[in-house]
Structure 1
């Protein structure tokens, strides 16, 4: 079973970011002069920790070692970014050679700090054309300012889960495709008890719910966070104001911020049997591809389906898009076995059969174009919804930044104030948000 990894604007991610920003300008130096055919033991550090996840990693390593009998891999799991970054700065024989991270927002720091090696020379000398192998959005979040210091290692996509039984009772024939349809359906699906409190909410758009980080819903607008000079431009992009306005309208249409927030506090833990969608308190819910596996294992006491998240009405032709993120893998700059390490990274990220087997084992979205269309993938249609989202040309990922998730956290904090009605002038508030993001970026660069 795969649990969702927190990949965006969360305090745990920022803890790692803080370590990256302090004292990382001189990472330990390794070597790319090793003979990849010579016997060697590689240290591979990763974040997976549950029994099913560890088994999937161990199976992958076993497949690699059968192909490369001279290379042994010593895997260390449940490693956080901050622990990894301390080891990369220190170097030494116990430091990792191959590294992976769930925090794609830190790629900008991995690349700019020099702690993760540039992979372009390895790609070129082994004939891997990255633009052909990887979907464009996934490739985008593994590089920063022209430096390809990571590669995608499975992906997560976000879509809409909906209660088919509730839809049938409400006379709704299909999931919503546009934001106006989402609002209309959410109102029709909302149910109250005799005393007026909620029994079921059609759709909870509040940003404090589970996976409802603002950047994930904002992806449906295809926003541009920064201009070509790296300056924040959220205030200049009309999509930003429309996004926040639409989110407030979704809240207001179902009773307002106060009542919906109070209802949210009655929800159980996201990963428990009291999850709000699983218990029927939500008729529609934004979540990642892993949720389907958990709903089947529970099992859910109702029929359910999946669909892409709705899009703005004026962008109806982009329906099918979604927010993408994922795990990334790379080579430690401090490794003295970088060519051998590349063989492992290449196997984990490029080999189609390996990517498919790993994706099926973890119930994640595969991260190469060939794997996305493989007939060996899980055929479950509720899962294949997310494969379509990953392959959609309008799907987007967050752009990397030198200070990691800091700009996403600023967006999240601003979103909390907007939905609560604390931002009276949205235009002025967005200008202030841009100024804050630019100030944070300048501080990191200095």
Structure 2
């Protein structure tokens, strides 16, 4: 059975997991003086839950234990960030030694709170130059204010799935590379019912559609969210207004926001057989690398392919970029076996063979340079398209913050208001958004 893990939008409040870390210190102090060659049991908590995913991570752990017969790893899956953070706050013998998270937005809190240890000393001791191991974008979302408290453990890349049959029928010979090309192609691909309502959208930019969170599409502009002092600068970033204008023009060219929303209301759940792209109601669609497996499993009745999402016309040389996120791994501050824990983290996230094996097993993008170019990596063309997006130096992740990415939630709410036409003075509204983001950041520091 095919496996996939997909990224959902971060909930508005991010839950107690984020709040638990703010301004707290771990009451239980761990140790980085342990001898990793002595017999030890490590507790490893992770979030994978599907049988095939758990089997894949357990197989990697078994191979690790064979290489390190003195280390016994007790693995616990389907563990949420909230559960992990509560355990780390409490400390004691029941807390995990090695942890993973699917939520890169929380890395700023993991690092600033001290709950996850700084891994730089362990890398230096192992002679590892992290800049030669991990792509810069992945390093950026695993560190905060100089603290490298996590390492990437596979990644997710976002690109554009497109219906090749629809393209051929519309006389389009290749996927669009710029936003103006996308707009022209979307118009050609749009179909209407007899009553004038939309039957198929060429591309639906609506921010509430499936994986269409605005930060993922905004990544194609390569924006800067904060200035050098850490102050929000969305109002002063010229790319912001261009992004909203482009999305509105793209929507209007196909019938407008209201017509798009009426079409979206007829879609089924993202993971169901009534997915808008699978049923042919979308000709182009933003999604992650897992969607290809789902289309194959569902036996889609049309030919499809993957390309990078187009970029702004004035940044045509960055075509090939995309939005990146991923799973992160770290060592608990409370662990008394931090050197042994590092051996496990290093094996799972840096050693090429286990990274490639795990990537192939759960169909996620590898997170090291060596794994990305490994000949053993899955050769499926659609999957390879996401590999190239991950390797593109212009690809972008959102910067970490000390409050679990609250600014991304604020930007998402703001973006939905803009596309619905509720924002009249965009620049003034962006200034207000910057003030809100800065206030939230200050509050989380106190």
Q: 1:27 offset after TM fit, Å?
A: 4.5
Describe how 1:223-372 pairs up with structure 2 within 5 A: 223-372=223-372
Would the aligned equivalents of 1:20 and 1:82 in 2 still touch at CA under 8 Å? no
Name structure 1 gaps, 5 residues minimum.
none
Q: Deviations over 1:330-379 (max 9, x none)?
A: 00000010000000000001000110110000100000001001110011
Q: Deviations over 1:138-180 (max 9, x none)?
A: 0011000000000000000000000000001111001000001
Q: Distance in 2 between matches of 1:402 and 1:306?
A: 35
Q: Deviations over 1:291-344 (max 9, x none)?
A: 111111111111000000000000001000011100000000000100000000
3-state SS of 2:249 partner: helix
Match of 1:139 in 2: 139
Q: Distance in 1 between matches of 2:102 and 2:191?
A: 37
Match of 2:18 in 1: 17
Would the aligned equivalents of 2:162 and 2:285 in 1 still touch at CA under 8 Å? yes
Q: 1:25 offset after TM fit, Å?
A: 3.0
Confirm whether residue 115 of structure 1 aligns to residue 111 of structure 2. Answer: no
Q: 1:228 offset after TM fit, Å?
A: 1.2
Match of 2:182 in 1: 182
TM-score relative to the length of structure 2: 0.98
3-state SS of 1:396 partner: coil
Match of 1:83 in 2: 83
Question: Which of 4-13 and 170-179 deviates more?
Answer: 4-13
Shift in alpha-carbon separation, 1:40–1:233, aligned structure 2, 3 A: same
Q: Deviations over 1:104-153 (max 9, x none)?
A: 01000000000000101100001111000000000011000000000000
Would the aligned equivalents of 2:365 and 2:387 in 1 still touch at CA under 8 Å? yes
Confirm whether residue 64 of structure 1 aligns to residue 57 of structure 2. Answer: no
Q: 1:254 offset after TM fit, Å?
A: 0.9
Would the aligned equivalents of 2:8 and 2:211 in 1 still touch at CA under 8 Å? no
Q: Distance in 1 between matches of 2:149 and 2:359?
A: 22
Shift in alpha-carbon separation, 1:275–1:225, aligned structure 2, 3 A: same
Q: Distance in 1 between matches of 2:14 and 2:290?
A: 20
Q: 1:33 offset after TM fit, Å?
A: 1.1
Describe how 1:353-392 pairs up with structure 2 within 5 A: 353-392=353-392
Q: Distance in 2 between matches of 1:70 and 1:187?
A: 63
Match of 1:44 in 2: 44
Match of 1:170 in 2: 170
Q: Distance in 2 between matches of 1:19 and 1:249?
A: 42
Q: 1:24 offset after TM fit, Å?
A: 2.7
Match of 2:53 in 1: 53
3-state SS of 2:277 partner: coil
TM-score relative to the length of structure 1: 0.98
Q: Distance in 1 between matches of 2:346 and 2:212?
A: 33
Match of 1:217 in 2: 217
Q: 1:225 offset after TM fit, Å?
A: 0.5
Q: 1:16 offset after TM fit, Å?
A: 2.1
3-state SS of 1:397 partner: coil
Q: Distance in 1 between matches of 2:424 and 2:236?
A: 18
Count, aligned residues: 445
Q: Distance in 1 between matches of 2:85 and 2:4?
A: 23
Q: Distance in 2 between matches of 1:12 and 1:254?
A: 34
Q: 1:94 offset after TM fit, Å?
A: 1.4
Q: Distance in 1 between matches of 2:419 and 2:219?
A: 18
3-state SS of 1:207 partner: coil
Q: 1:14 offset after TM fit, Å?
A: 4.0
Q: Distance in 2 between matches of 1:24 and 1:195?
A: 59
State the 4+ residue runs in structure 1 displaced beyond 6 angstroms: none
RMSD in angstroms over aligned alpha carbons?
Answer: 1.1
Q: 1:6 offset after TM fit, Å?
A: 3.3
Would the aligned equivalents of 2:235 and 2:434 in 1 still touch at CA under 8 Å? yes
Q: 1:195 offset after TM fit, Å?
A: 1.7
